[in-house]
Structure 1
């Protein structure tokens, strides 16, 4: 009479079952969800880690279609990269635009700065010391305000009012200010001098 041995098969079955259960747990099967979220889809890792951009909305004193707050001399990188990779290699110099409430804060700061400097411009007072004094008179820390002569009849300025950066020029033609959110891979509001 022939005997069929099943002992070897049974011994191999237990490790297979354990591996199967571990595989289901690793795949997310049997994941416990708190009450009220049964069947609710969980966000993917990419969606969970993707930074969200605050919604832009009309700021006080602005028309319903918002325009970018940053427009004085800084340009966005071109849509198609140039063959020499200039834009790619100098991307660290492209400032962050402002969005949401920070954009409104930036526009309000720009209006205050332009109003404070306009009397100096009308008097043709293009002294960097006068400009700096007018800007610190708005409440900006003296250590965070820079002003420099910009030609024979002009002044440029930079204010590090973190998280806002404010820059601009004053000349016989106009007073222009701009707000932005800093630079990638660089702390501070001054234009970075080196990149990758």
Structure 2
């Protein structure tokens, strides 16, 4: 009977070949500048749609659409996933008709709350009464004590267009947004996906 003996060199050949293939890589993922250079030299084919920023237009009573104020983006430290882990708490911006709906709701809310502000009525009950008097359902409208004033949150329509703000002796402030990712309604979500 003949016995085949493998020497140490032959036994190590197969694992080394596998290791060489794995080290060479077979994907197209690139990082940093290499990825940017690749995207510039290989543009997206014309048959494929890419996400774009919706176009805004002037709303009634507005001379030109407001341009969003760029926010200072903070680059997290390596290993810091705070922004990634809390992205579910960043509300959607409104665009197009929904932006106009939000601006109209802000104007209505401020007009209804201004008499209360001038009187110094900073009670959640008075604010809720004024907001439900505009036709917003009580179940979709919240008001609460907020320091020296009152805060409010309204689900103005089912899309949703949400209006959130505060009223105190100095001013009434309000902002409109389009809800949150992974969550329905206008309440700030307490947990992500």
Calculate the TM-score normalised by the size of structure 1.
Answer: 0.67
Mapped pair 1:180 → 2:180: no
Residue 47 of structure 2 corresponds to 43
Q: SS at the partner of 2:163? A: strand
Structure 1 residues 87-109: Cα deviation after superposition (integer angstroms, max 9, x where no partner): 11111100000001110110111
Aligned length: 146
Superposed CA RMSD in Å reads 2.3
**Residues of 2 paired with 1:110 and 1:65: CA distance?**
15
Residue 192 of structure 1 corresponds to 189
Structure 1 residues 37-79: Cα deviation after superposition (integer angstroms, max 9, x where no partner): xxxx9832xx1xx5554310111222325234xx8xxx96826
Q: SS at the partner of 1:157? A: strand
Mapped pair 1:155 → 2:147: no
Q: SS at the partner of 1:101? A: helix
Q: Which structure 2 residue ranges, 5 or more long, are not aligned?
A: 1-44
Q: SS at the partner of 1:168? A: strand
Residue 88 of structure 2 corresponds to 92
Residue 57 of structure 2 corresponds to 57
Residue 9 of structure 1 corresponds to none
Residue 20 of structure 2 corresponds to none
**Residues of 1 paired with 2:58 and 2:77: CA distance?**
35
Offset of residue 82 of structure 1: 3.8
Q: Which structure 1 residue ranges, 5 or more long, are not aligned?
A: 1-40
Equivalent position to 2:108, from 105, 108, 112: 112
